Amino acid sequence: MALRFVGIDPNTGGEGSPTVWVEEESADLVLQGEEADELLQALVGSTEWVASHKTGIPAHERVIRIPARMVPILREACNAAERASAEHRDVR
């Protein structure tokens, strides 16, 4: 597995910081961020966001928070993932 580093929180203090990568083969976005607090997790887990879709947060998933100041980095990551995905489709 190879990760392409896209960016890190510009306000990082040098320790664990929200970070974004693109996984080269799948073109999936990989995110590191602060785990949401209990209140936010409860809101996400108890709200029916899509009609007839089961509520709750599955045990294998996490709700994370990415600072708004990272929107340009996420946009860059989305563009990189889209390009990588298109490249993989062209090869097959």
- CB 49: neighbour CB atoms within 10 A? 7
Strands 19-23 and 34-35: what pairing?
A: unpaired
pLDDT in tens, 4-14: 999 999 898 87
Q: What is the mean pLDDT of the chain?
A: 90
pLDDT in tens, 37-49: 999 999 999 999 9
User: Residue 36 has what pLDDT?
Assistant: 94
Mean pLDDT confidence for 15-38: 92
User: Residue 57 has what pLDDT?
Assistant: 93
Residue 74 has pLDDT above 70, yes or no: yes
Q: Please, what is the Cα angle at 15 between 13 and 18, to 5 degrees?
A: 85
Please give the structure tokens belonging to residue 21.
């990568």
Please give the structure tokens belonging to residue 87.
């490249």
Q: CA–CA separation, 90 vs 92, rounded Å?
A: 6
Residue 92 has pLDDT above 60, yes or no: no
Place of tokens 């320790």: 15
